[in-house]
Amino acid sequence: MSSVFETQQTIREILLKILDNHSLEQLNKIPEGFNNNIIWNVGHCVATQQTLVYKLSGLPTMVSEDFILKYRKGTKPEGDVSEEEVNEIRAFLLSTFEKTKNDFQSGLFVDYNEYTTSMGFTLKNVQDALDFNNYHEGIHTGIAMSLKKLV
């Protein structure tokens, strides 16, 4: 199980480096031909992880419902985010990872509401959710890496 968390930690560290090495203007810029930006992709990773792992386990999330609604699947940036919100997302990258790892190790995840993703993966338990989440965050990390070349 540790490899799932090692992988997620690596992904989150890459996302943090992207945030740290780009200006607020660059994080908010939507390049021509795209419908989102770097900061949306990072926020989307946090919102999706919270939904797949906590909400579907019947547990409270560490982020607000408003945050999830803003960054969930099917959304796009509705305006520029502030430096304060970037800092909040940066903090969530670390705190949600650490808490999820600790909660998993302590046996908190017992129930899970089966869910089939839009890509056709059926998640039957929290282990499936953690595995799929790494795949999902890998996709959005790749998008963020592509976007950084265009901003």
Query: What's residue 2's pLDDT?
Result: 83
User: What residue ranges do the domains of the chain occupy?
Assistant: 2-148
Which single residue is written with the structure tokens 């699947």?
73
Contact 96, 50 (CB under 8 A): yes
CA distance 53 to 22: 29
* CATH code matching the domain that covers 2-148, chosen among 3.40.50.1980, 1.10.8.190, 2.60.120.10, 1.20.120.450: 1.20.120.450
Torsion of CA 29, 97, 141, 16, to 10 degrees: 50
Residue ranges, the chain, pLDDT below 70: 1
Residues in Cβ contact with 142 at an 8 Å cutoff, skipping those fewer than 6 apart? none
pLDDT in tens, 90-100: 999 999 999 99
3-state secondary structure of 33: coil
pTM of the model: 0.95
Helix/strand/coil percentages in the chain, nearest 5: 65, 5, 35
pLDDT in tens, 55-80: 999 999 999 999 999 999 999 999 99
CA distance 81 to 137: 21
